[in-house]
Structure 1
């Protein structure tokens, strides 16, 4: 009979494998088109960076979490633990920031064609690269203080002063440090989540108005067909609701873990939820963006045999 730990290990490896393949497909697709001189959309750079961040989340958390559930907790020493945990925190923050950037960029693109918005639409693509670069710098610097509190499973420490996260342990901070931690890490996340919610509501509102306007010009014979705006609205809601749901559940579990003695099911559940959006994101993006499918067809058409 398969043990619970074995099932958890299989689940983590399956989640990591599927998610990494999906995100690597996005990275490979846009990289291939870029290096072959194809003209890409400004949003494609955002999608590529989101795929990179999601891949790092999966590889730095899901893979090692799977090893730990199979009993291999001592794979990492102190240095390895610091590197993996640090990469996970940076990648997690990047995933949130770039999703925020993506949501804002989409809201601007579909905004009304009045002079004010037209000027903003023309300027936004020039700031995408700098926004992504600033996101990387911010999260790299933001997570540096975490390094001093991490101890690998091979390290020693007073168990009453540490919390064990399967393959790493974290020193428990005092009240002042905990308050600073909440301010430094929770406030930017809360701002991003608020912005994502606002821009998503704005996009759905614009698409709904456009759908109603277009619907007036359709005859009754087309009344039961699915409009493109309806499909776009559903995909936006699906992606954002997926992100927000898993992110909030993970935050709740993380808060519980900081306030009580850690239990294995809490650690495993938090790790699994943290990797759900990075796993699903490339498939939601591919299904909601027809241009990605066209890119894929063009790439496979180039690499395939010539039809004579």
Structure 2
């Protein structure tokens, strides 16, 4: 009974967390859309809007999967629902990793000095972004296609060779060689993009350190004021990168151990979902609070109301 009570509480926490995340991401996405309509958006704003949309879909799919009543209310076969929502969730998770990496790399290019080899990408950043978005969508859709074939509705099945993922959905047992192949490919892709995040983050930290030393040496307040928006944006990206790294490795440890043992405790699964969704919930709040345009608009609206 205590385990069931804990499972119910965790699911309620997941829904509550997802609700906050969807609200924050929707606000950020609408703000990005308004920016697109009113002026020429910066490349970073395109990526931010894309990331917010990804997190909205990702959190929505989680709510469907952990809410049996909502899952049942959808008028199509449970097997199709399991495949569709698990595939959608995994694709969005991959896109979240890839887009966060793209945001980090773009910020590193943006703040790179004129003497850097990265400066040539500044002029091509907009075209570069659209090419990269097409590339990461193609990767995410193809590398997660196994979810379509191996996710099933197990409620009407009598076999026990599946990994239970919820009240209705499960993974079919896969040949160990095929499972290892998919795991290696998935980990390779994730580690490659996470590695690029680490490199770009380290590069930004070095640039910030050099800029700080230069500012202290020159005692130039004008230089500090002129670069403060870029510095603030870079610090925000670094904060997101650090938070993402922690959440990613916790998720990877839980997921790898459960996949190797071919056993998912419902409570462990719920904790993993909370961890995975935490970045999607916190990242828009960080981006909103660090954007002076949004905070000033909210302050003006608050003053008018009071």
TM-score calculated relative to the size of structure 1:
0.85
Equivalent residue number for residue 222 of structure 1: none
1: CA distance, partners of 2:116 / 2:186: 38
Equivalent residue number for residue 21 of structure 2: 19
Equivalent residue number for residue 164 of structure 1: 164
Equivalent residue number for residue 147 of structure 1: 148
The answer as to whether partners of 1:163 and 1:170 remain within 8 angstroms in 2 is yes
CA RMSD of aligned residues (A): 3.0
Structure 1's unaligned 5+ residue stretches are: 220-226
Q: Pick closer, same or farther for the CA change 1:152–1:125 going to 2, 3 Å.
A: same
Q: How does 1:1-308 map to 2 (within 5 A)?
A: 3-35=5-37, 37-61=38-62, 63-68=63-68, 77-114=78-115, 116-159=117-160, 161-166=161-166, 167-218=168-219, 234-260=235-261, 261-293=263-295, 296=297
Q: Pick closer, same or farther for the CA change 1:57–1:43 going to 2, 3 Å.
A: same
CA drift of 1:39 comes to: 2.1
The answer as to whether partners of 2:101 and 2:193 remain within 8 angstroms in 1 is yes
What is the CA deviation profile of residues 3-29 of structure 1, one whole-angstrom value per residue up to 9, with x for unaligned ones? 434422321121011000111111111
2: CA distance, partners of 1:72 / 1:283: 27
1: CA distance, partners of 2:264 / 2:71: 16
CA drift of 1:211 comes to: 1.1
Q: Pick closer, same or farther for the CA change 1:20–1:73 going to 2, 3 Å.
A: closer
2: CA distance, partners of 1:228 / 1:31: 21
State the SS of the aligned residue for 1:216.
helix
Q: Pick closer, same or farther for the CA change 1:115–1:237 going to 2, 3 Å.
A: closer
Equivalent residue number for residue 224 of structure 2: none
Q: Pick closer, same or farther for the CA change 1:114–1:298 going to 2, 3 Å.
A: farther
Structure 2's unaligned 5+ residue stretches are: 221-227
CA drift of 1:122 comes to: 0.9
Q: Pick closer, same or farther for the CA change 1:162–1:73 going to 2, 3 Å.
A: farther
2: CA distance, partners of 1:231 / 1:135: 27
The answer as to whether partners of 2:6 and 2:267 remain within 8 angstroms in 1 is no
The answer as to whether partners of 1:29 and 1:299 remain within 8 angstroms in 2 is no
The answer as to whether partners of 1:73 and 1:153 remain within 8 angstroms in 2 is no
Q: Pick closer, same or farther for the CA change 1:235–1:293 going to 2, 3 Å.
A: same
